[in-house]
Structure 1
């Protein structure tokens, strides 16, 4: 079970499906339905799932089904929240005793079945975690998409049965999308209809960093030069590298923004010039980014980072900041020759790369211009358009095959418009 942000993350707008009655926010039965099954919480870190589902919500009734939270109640319930973007976030609350007794799969199946029975529409199933196959493999669907954004089996604490569920998902999926080219190379060996969709960017949102005049309150008192990172602080970061850079250049201020996950906070390097500012909401990120001189991606080179394609790379560039990164394969291949993303494999070269990046910020307008050229044509809107067209083609193909073999037995299924 993943971390629950608080006792009741749903807020005032929540409604629930309990053991006896159903009283909840229901999707429009006249629109196609997309059920997204995620190991990440909607309100944890705003990244690929949130970007895509928010945009798909313009054309689908989107349900975002999270991993369960422990409940002190004796009965299970499904909490539902409608986001500003029109996504319905479904959070199962399961009695703690049932979670400890491994009854969560059965309960999630019951809660989800009860909700879907009220929609009367066969959903597109969109998986971020193969583990959700355990309670959805029976759901009648119009299309199965596996959006593989990470190699989850390589992450710390990955369930031992994950690889088996992924094999089952790859056998059933109509489409596989990947979060980068390294993952594409790995997954296309197991599925013929695999398509790479590397991380994109909301350029207008992060361009605001270039116009920041007032510093965020908890960052304002930190002197420069400022080197910054935002994202989940977990086993994918090279903590020794961060410590070595801070020790060698005490005049540089290293700012770390984001939640700590899967590692003991006591493991984090502690120095006067390393500042942990905690998690921030997506809307706040440009203001923090705008106060940095250089953006950092100090990832460890290990199994957990072998296939990553960090969303923050184009976000940092959109903010007009040069980037210093360790040699993550997708970063090297996509940005290594741009002149704005500097690659370094050890502390000495990392320090040298930061010095080069700091020097480039003597001409911020030139950095911003180079960034604009690199990011030309990149947008989450375009990604959703291209994904949607591939999905529509797959649905049409599947329906044509069904009508050929079982004429008259398959009703017309709703599809996404071919234009976003």
Structure 2
């Protein structure tokens, strides 16, 4: 590629002269993601791993910048899913970055036996290098209010407005977010993130202790997930300070915040990121699961997947009053809502008692009845197929 090229110099869409459809060819579902497939296993991986049975999934990630020449890494972490990572040299202007991504993606699509293209946006920012593509269906899977996150680009709001105008269907990661987006799109549907009950239910069977958790005492209060600006650092610090006999186990990568800002007490244990497959083994060794989310703009519309995952593992949950948690689980006997440190400590004491009395599983199962990623993905696919059949 000529690095000086501007976006308009890129050739037209590889779908402009679409190939004839064949009975054997499946639609290509191009998922445009701000999250990496190999990062925390969450909604995108759950959804795409299921939709691959109906579509050929291409998962296009944000670029990696380095000193290497412009190229596209292609891998297949699971059959039916191809992950594309654009590698771009340092020093490109925003216009050149857009042009480079467009050229790499167009080149890849031109080499595929495409019969039909479906676009699935996880971020509106991808629209700048894909707005020329002609798709049978365009989906905006709005997981979170990304404009409220730390470091969100200022142009994100305008790009979301443009994407809303183009999308055939909008899915939201929770009900509170749906209440906001349904005013912006006439075909918005709440599709809260779900749970793989069988995967996490293994934690109820008393799995072998992971080596880095085995030496930690009890009772254990655990959290797994991304530790970022949504994490209430002060609340966790106060919990650990006031209750030194409680062991706080924190699992997950630290992103967008300074690790030095995290509380350091002898009873707080940072175990780092773990794979999705490892999580039930850690959860199996906890008495209480925590959701210490800060109450700020970045958490206003979140619908944490951790709530049903913790419950599926047989662990009572203590959460700050995140709106979707309160509305969905506020009546569950093993999910307790607490706003400040004193209330959180009291809630943990109640959760420890609930764990000890052996009735957590029954209450958790009642709260999880009917939930599954399969059901969520089937509902999403139904919407997509409605537009494909038109």
Output the TM-score relative to the length of structure 1: 0.86
Structure 1 ranges of 4+ moved more than 4 A: none
Instruction: Report what 1:50 is aligned to.
Output: 45
Cα 1:209–1:85 shift into 2, 3 Å:
farther
C-alpha distance in 1 between matches for 2:95 and 2:164:
25
Give the SS at the match of 1:45: coil
Instruction: Report what 1:16 is aligned to.
Output: none
1:371 CA displacement: 0.9
1:229-253 superposed Cα distances (whole Å, 9 cap, x missing partner): 0000000011000000000000000
Residue 248 of structure 1 is aligned with which of 218, 242, 252? Answer: 242
**Could you list the runs of 5+ residues in structure 2 that have no partner in the other structure?**
1-21
Instruction: Report what 1:162 is aligned to.
Output: 156
Cα 1:234–1:84 shift into 2, 3 Å:
same
Correspondence 1:175-324 to 2 at 5 A: 175-324=169-318
C-alpha distance in 2 between matches for 1:311 and 1:395:
29
1:216 CA displacement: 0.8
Cα 1:101–1:31 shift into 2, 3 Å:
closer
Instruction: Report what 1:345 is aligned to.
Output: 339
Cα 1:211–1:243 shift into 2, 3 Å:
same
Instruction: Report what 2:16 is aligned to.
Output: none
Instruction: Report what 2:102 is aligned to.
Output: 109
1:393 CA displacement: 1.1
C-alpha distance in 2 between matches for 1:163 and 1:93:
26
C-alpha distance in 1 between matches for 2:56 and 2:78:
13
C-alpha distance in 1 between matches for 2:238 and 2:265:
10
Give the SS at the match of 1:362: helix
**Could you list the runs of 5+ residues in structure 1 that have no partner in the other structure?**
1-27, 400-420
Quick check: 2:136–2:387 contact (8 Å CA) kept in 1?
no
* Matched positions, count: 367
C-alpha distance in 2 between matches for 1:151 and 1:212:
37
1:148 CA displacement: 0.3
Instruction: Report what 1:145 is aligned to.
Output: 139
1:375 aligns with 2:368: yes
Residue 63 of structure 1 is aligned with which of 42, 58, 64? Answer: 58
1:40 aligns with 2:43: no
Give the SS at the match of 2:91: helix
Quick check: 1:122–1:140 contact (8 Å CA) kept in 2?
no
Output the TM-score relative to the length of structure 2: 0.92
Instruction: Report what 2:18 is aligned to.
Output: none
Residue 94 of structure 1 is aligned with which of 63, 88, 95? Answer: 88
C-alpha distance in 2 between matches for 1:362 and 1:195:
39
Give the SS at the match of 1:83: strand
